[in-house]
Copies of this chain bind each other. A is one copy, B any other.
Amino acid sequence: MSIENFGNWGKWGAADEVGAINYVGQKEVISAAGLVKEGKVLRLTQNLSSKTPISSHRCGLQHFMNRDGGDYAGGRHRPGGFQFAEDTVVMPLHIGTHVDALCHAWYDDKLYNGYLGNTIRSTSGAAHLGIEKMPPIFTKGVLLDIVRLRGRALYKSEIITEHDLEQACLKQNITIKKGDAILIRTGWLEAQKNESHVSFNEEQGINKEAAQWLADKEVCVVGADNYAVEVLPFKENTIFPVHQLLIRDYGISLIEGLMLDHLVAAGRFEFLFVSSPLPFVGGTGSPIAPIAVI
């Protein structure tokens, strides 16, 4: 066994750029569609604007109007009275509710499945594992509600362990299956609502062992209502250990910044989950507007 045999490397071939979404087969898609009973479509997304909170090492969204209603103030008239408005955004790809491409995080110069880190360049982005390689996700979603499990809001930087995830499954009477999309409610984002300043340096989230537990369950994606899925600050002498393990070793993307309030209000733990990232060629992630359908 080679030292290069990490997590899911090679599992779907040496050229695979899809990772754990490979777990979602036709059977899982059909089964997920069957979860739609009430016909309600729930949004799991933060709005995007210059006010969308963003980690301080990133610049927020800028929204510019190329043409707007004010431009007609002077009374210009066109056939049929036609008028229109258009706009442009400057936007970091990791903003609001977003998904990490498999090229977003790695270690020791190698990405998931052994691709080289220096194939990600300024000139053309990621030659491998860019967000355009990520298929749309249409699968069973599972909400693991840790706030409900605890019966209280989590503390800042409170660790969610594999034991917590297990207990949540038991309490919610659900079983995680291969290909499921796991959404973890940490309560972080809802706790920020009335804060004037959002702190990205202290957040409740899962630890590395919980991440390993999820990887072993063969989930297709792990999402949370915080900004890194994992707990911050990190354990001493580690940096983003959950990112390293899930994204780089297991090819499991992270969905960050989920807005779970509608889903929590609906009281459903299993649902059809749909997320379809914008295919930026060579991009390291994409804002998404995922939905839960119940």
Kindly state whether residue A173 has any CB partner on chain B within 8 Å. no
Q: Do the beta carbons of B70 and A120 come within 8 Å of each other?
A: yes
Give chain B nearest CB distance to A237 CB in angstroms. Answer: 5
A87-103 interface code vs B (CB 8 A; 1 in, 0 out): 11111111000000001
A133-176 CB mask vs B (1 if < 8 Å, else 0) is 00110100000000000000000000000000000000000000
Expressed in whole angstroms, the minimum distance between the Cβ of A128 and any Cβ of chain B is 10
Chain A interface size range:
35 or more
Q: Is A30 within 8 A of B39, CB to CB?
A: yes
Asked if A282 is at the interface of the complex by the 8 Å CB criterion, the answer is yes
Shortest Cβ gap from A119 to chain B (Å):
6
**Which B residue sits closest to A43, measured CB to CB?**
B136
Which B residues touch A240, using CB under 8 A?
Answer: 82, 84
Given A38-B26, A93-B88, A136-B291, A82 and B107 contact (CB-CB distance below 8 Å): yes
When all copies of this chain in the complex are counted, the total is 4
A58 and B79 within 8 A (CB): no
Q: Kindly identify, within residues 102 to 146 of chain A, every residue whose CB is under 8 Å from any CB belonging to chain B.
A: 103-109, 116-123, 125-126, 132, 135-136, 138
Q: Which of A4-12, A61-69, A187-195, A209-217 contacts B (4 or more CB under 8 A)?
A: A61-69
Given contacts A40-B26, A279-B45, contact A125 B87 (CB under 8 A): yes
Across the interface, do B86 and A279 meet the contact criterion of CB distance under 8 Å? Answer: no
Task: Report the minimal beta-carbon distance from A244 to chain B, rounded to whole angstroms.
Answer: 6
CB of A80 within 8 A of CB of B107, answer yes
Choose, from A47-55, A199-207, A218-226, the stretch at the interface. Answer: A47-55
Residue of B nearest to A108 (CB): B81
Which residues of B have CB within 8 Å of A91?
A: 88-89, 91
**Cross-chain contact of A59 among B27, B50, B132 (Cβ < 8 A):** B50
In the assembled complex, the CB of A26 is this many whole angstroms from the nearest CB of chain B, namely 3
> A37 in the interface, Cβ–Cβ < 8 Å?
yes
Indicate whether A287 reaches chain B with its CB closer than 8 angstroms: yes
A74 at interface (Cβ–Cβ under 8 A)? Answer: yes
CB distance from A110 to the nearest CB of B (A): 9
Bound form: Cα–Cα A51–B132 in Å = 14
Which of A26, A58, A70 counts the most B-chain CB atoms under 10 A from its CB?
A70
Q: A255 interface residue, CB < 8 Å from B? A: no
User: What is the bound-complex CA distance between A289 and B60, given in angstroms?
Assistant: 23
Least CB distance, A228 to chain B, in whole angstroms: 11
Give the distance in Å from the alpha carbon of A243 to the alpha carbon of B80 in the complex.
11
The 8 A-B pairs with the shortest beta carbon distances in the complex, nearest first, are A70-B70, A26-B39, A73-B73, A64-B64, A81-B107, A33-B36, A29-B39, A69-B120
Query: Known contacts A78-B239, A88-B90, A274-B291; can you find 4 more A-B pairs with CB under 8 A?
Result: A30-B39, A41-B135, A69-B119, A82-B243
